[in-house]
Structure 1
């Protein structure tokens, strides 16, 4: 009589019976919120739900001339903190969850501007790699903040690539505009295109004119079919692209409200509802005439540091993204 011996199962670590396969995609895991904090967006206009702001620290009491820190003037720290507190209150009134960065060490001064340091996709965030030497080293601080919130970082530009989040804007859930210029270089664009293609997203490169910072300073979306553009910086390439997509453009001509007051440096809170700087009454009037509701924030100390509401706000989550 032949005795049959049952072949012993492999240990689970080698794929045996106790091995549990991971079947959900990262996007599904984000939605389930079991391992990760829910985050992501594929629009610039969906209802804003979660953001990151940096609480200004002693790093703003730097000794160098402001220009050496990429700033226009020296912000007053006490006033800046008061403006940050007011921004938190405004956002919370709009139903937005605000995460304030809590760091044990002082980051570089421009860490104030969170928008540049990461960019959200439906599958997690892409960490920025700022182009200026003054901002080198901000990435580990941003990575720490994101890790503490359990936000997955799915990519970090490497090699000679530079990328700043304010150069990337969702045109629709399957198309992204990326500005190529002094802040995001061609290698950064190439790496971003490769990554987005793996998500089924098309990248459209926009060559930025000299004298600007980011794509966000050239075009900003108030809704899926309404873009605000800087009349002194917008290119025929970009206006043609928007026209082809059936997107209405509100053109703002260069004046002190636009160039000094950063009147188009707004954060879209919901379709046709924006948070913009105070002190821009004419631009505010143009917005209202275009059917845009306006919430104003005092950000004078941020303006000294060369940024406005859109620059200082890191977008984590919007509603109704795909």
Structure 2
């Protein structure tokens, strides 16, 4: 068994150092604000080390992809696919900037001994759109980097394994589902509720998932880009003061990371983490 849901105890992850992330390529609403600006390499590496240190302290084993000059955005490891109990799904990147990551991550997963269940080949699918709601219920964002064709391929591959797969269309400015919705505990999520479709909100109600609401502007400040560690623990950003206060009021142990430079490229802690093992 590899990853059985999104909120049980995280034991092992795959990440990639931001070695070649030199500037914020204008491929999302956040990075467009910083496009062509040099990023502070020392700060990027320090922020990545913060993530590693937090995982070490939490007892999470970290595997690392070797960075390459052709993969400037590979620090956002989440996006190459998704992982379930039986193995992983290889996605299909939309942006040419990220094409080289496809084979690199595929080789790394082979090296780690994690079987490829299916590959999205005709449509588009990126892992930032992949979210467990329950062990057999998966939500998939159809936003900017995953399209309906990719969703249908994913659904066709997962349904025979007993998974229910639901589409979550949203404004393309939100980039990925994990930018506007994130499950942080079994029955608790952080989300920009008004940006979610009615059918999805009804599903959350049926599953008794409570939402900590954030305003739309929080999406672009990574207010929802959190990583559940299990046992009511969550990685967040130091700047997410209101979100973090609300999480603590709901009994969560919030581990704050002082990450700001990496965010300029468009991703936060959730984007930087590909789960390999949740028990």
Hey, what does 2:83 align to over in structure 1?
120
Distance 2:220 2:120 in 1: 32
The answer as to 2:235 corresponding to 1:275 is: yes
Provide the secondary structure at the position in 1 that maps to 2:74. Answer: helix
Deviation of 1:150 (Å): 2.1
Aligned to 1:158: 121
- Which of 54, 60, 77 is the matching residue for 2:21? 60
- Counterpart CA distance in 2 for 1:61 and 1:229 is 30
1:67 aligned counterpart, secondary structure: coil
Match of 1:307 in 2: 267
Structure 1: 5+ residue stretches without partners: 1-30, 32-39
| Shift in Å, 1:265 | 0.8
Q: How far has the Cα of 1:194 moved from its partner?
A: 0.8
User: Alpha-carbon deviation of 1:90?
Assistant: 0.9
- The structural deviation recorded for 1:69 is 8.4
Listed one character per residue, the Cα deviations across residues 101-144 of structure 1 (whole Å, up to 9, x for unaligned) are 125x4232111101111211111111121112322232011112
In structure 1, the partner of 2:107 is: 144
The answer to whether the aligner puts 1:132 opposite 2:95 as a matched pair is yes
Mapped contact 1:277–1:297 kept (Cα < 8 A): yes
State the secondary structure of the residue aligned to 2:161.
coil
Tell whether the 8 Å contact from 2:18 to 2:73 is kept in structure 1 after alignment.
no
Matches of 1:102 and 1:170 in 2, distance apart? 28
In structure 2, how many angstroms separate the alpha carbons of the residues matched to 1:247 and 1:208?
19
SS at structure 2 position matched to 1:240: helix
Normalised by the length of structure 1, the TM-score is: 0.80
SS in 2 for 1:315: strand
The match for 1:91 among 49, 55, 60 is 55
Query: Contact 1:222–1:271 at 8 Å: present in 2 too?
Result: no
The answer for the alignment partner of 2:246 in structure 1 is 286
In the alignment, is the contact (CA less than 8 A) between 2:181 and 2:192 conserved in 1? yes
Structure 1 residues 69 and 224: alpha-carbon distance in aligned structure 2, compared to 1, 3 A threshold: closer
The partner residue of 2:150 within 161, 164, 188 is 188
Q: Who is 1:107 aligned against?
A: 70
CA shift for structure 1 position 268:
0.3
- Tell me how far apart the structure 2 counterparts of residues 68 and 305 of structure 1 sit (CA, whole Å): 9
1:79 to 2:32 alignment: no
Which residue does the alignment assign to 1:46?
Answer: 8
Cα distance between partner residues in 1 of 2:273 and 2:267: 10
Aligned to 1:37: none
- Residues 260, 170 of structure 1: CA spacing in aligned structure 2 closer, same or farther, 3 A cutoff? closer
d(CA) in 1 for partners of 2:103, 2:131: 24
Distance in 1 between the 2:181 and 2:22 partners? Answer: 32
| Equivalent-residue separation in structure 1 for 2:223 and 2:27 (angstroms) | 25
Divergent runs of 4+, >4 A? none
Q: Is the 8 A contact 1:69 1:109 kept in 2?
A: no
| 1:213 to partner: Cα distance | 0.8
| TM-fit CA distance, 1:260 | 4.2
Task: Quote how far apart the aligned CAs of 1:232 are.
Answer: 4.7
Aligned residue for 2:223?
Answer: 263
**Could you say if the C-alpha distance between residues 69 and 135 of structure 1 is closer, same or farther in structure 2, counting changes exceeding 3 Å?**
farther
- 1:216 corresponding residue in structure 2: 178
